[in-house]
Structure formats: structure tokens, C-alpha cells
Amino acid sequence: MVINLTDLKEYMQQAIMEPLDHKNLDKDVPYFAEVVSTTENVAVFIWENLKKLLPMGTLYKVKVYETDQNIVVYKGE
């Protein structure tokens, strides 16, 4: 097991749901005050937040589905 699923769920809550869920990204999320809220930048935002919480080396990629045809995969710099 790479990570306890209960811990992962809590990390996702902190890194994704609390800052982004039911928010106007451009107005309610400080990160997007200076960064355009594209799907690509949302993936980077999620990566940066998760990387702070997860054990070193466990985050491989972030995949964001905007639609069935528009999917962004980010694997860090």
C-alpha cells in the first residue's frame, strides 16, 4: 500500500474540495486572482496543494476532466 486511503481522502479534502468546491475560482480563490483559471492551471493548483500534503515522491500525476473530450494531465515540472 502506497498510502492509507483515509489519509488520502483527507488530503484531497484539504487540497481540492475546501479551496475549490462551489467557488467562483476567479473571485473566491486567491491563487486565481493572478492566474487565469484554465483547466491546465486548475491542475497545477491541485498538484501544488497535494504535493504539500502527500509524502515525498507519492504524487505522480493530476488528471482533471473538464468534459469527456477535454482532459488535462499534469505531472509536475
Q: Which residues are catalytic?
A: 22, 66
| Residue 34: closest CA among 19, 20, 23, 45 | 45
- Give the C-alpha separation, 66 to 48, whole Å: 19
- Give the C-alpha separation, 52 to 73, whole Å: 19
